[in-house]
Amino acid sequence: QARLVESGGGLVQPGDSLRLSCVGSGTSFSRWTMGWYRQGPGKQRELVAAITRGRMTNYLDSVKGRFTISRDDSRNTVALEMNNLKPEDTAVYYCNARTAIDNVWGRGTQVTVSS
């Protein structure tokens, strides 16, 4: 069964950096589009960044220039490098993998940005 597990969340101060990682198992995700979503307190889940199997990327406007998504298909992993974090980035971050017919979610990792 396909599975995703996130790690790397934590409590940081504004302006700090964090790197989230997501490891896949149960199948090779090399042909899947991988993404990071987040859900802040009282908010709907939103797409933060995505990367296709061809390495095309797209980002939420508010994180452009601060966040970078990358993938390593040899390790079945996807990462999200987050710089200059802001309090509004506080959320549970979820790893996602999808194709036209499949959609897999991780359980999430908490990121809290607070002084």
Residue whose C-alpha is closest to residue 46's, from 92, 3, 83? 92
Give the 3-state secondary structure of residue 16. Answer: coil
Section 63-88 average pLDDT? 97
Per residue in 59-72, pLDDT (tens digit) is: 999 999 999 999 99
The conformational region for residue 62 under phi > 0 = left, psi -120 to 50 = alpha, else beta, is alpha
Per residue in 41-58, pLDDT (tens digit) is: 999 999 999 999 999 999
pLDDT above 90 covers what percent of the chain? Answer: 97
Element (H, E) at 20: strand 18-25
Give the 3-state secondary structure of residue 87. Answer: helix
> Rounded CA gap, 24 and 6, in Å?
9
pLDDT tier, 97 (very low <50, low <70, confident <90, very high otherwise)? very high
pLDDT above 70 covers what percent of the chain? Answer: 100
Identify the pLDDT of residue 59. 98
Bridge partners for 78 per DSSP: 22, 71
Section 82-93 average pLDDT? 98
Token pair, residue 38, equals 């987040």
Identify the pLDDT of residue 105. 98
Identify the pLDDT of residue 51. 98
Identify the pLDDT of residue 31. 93
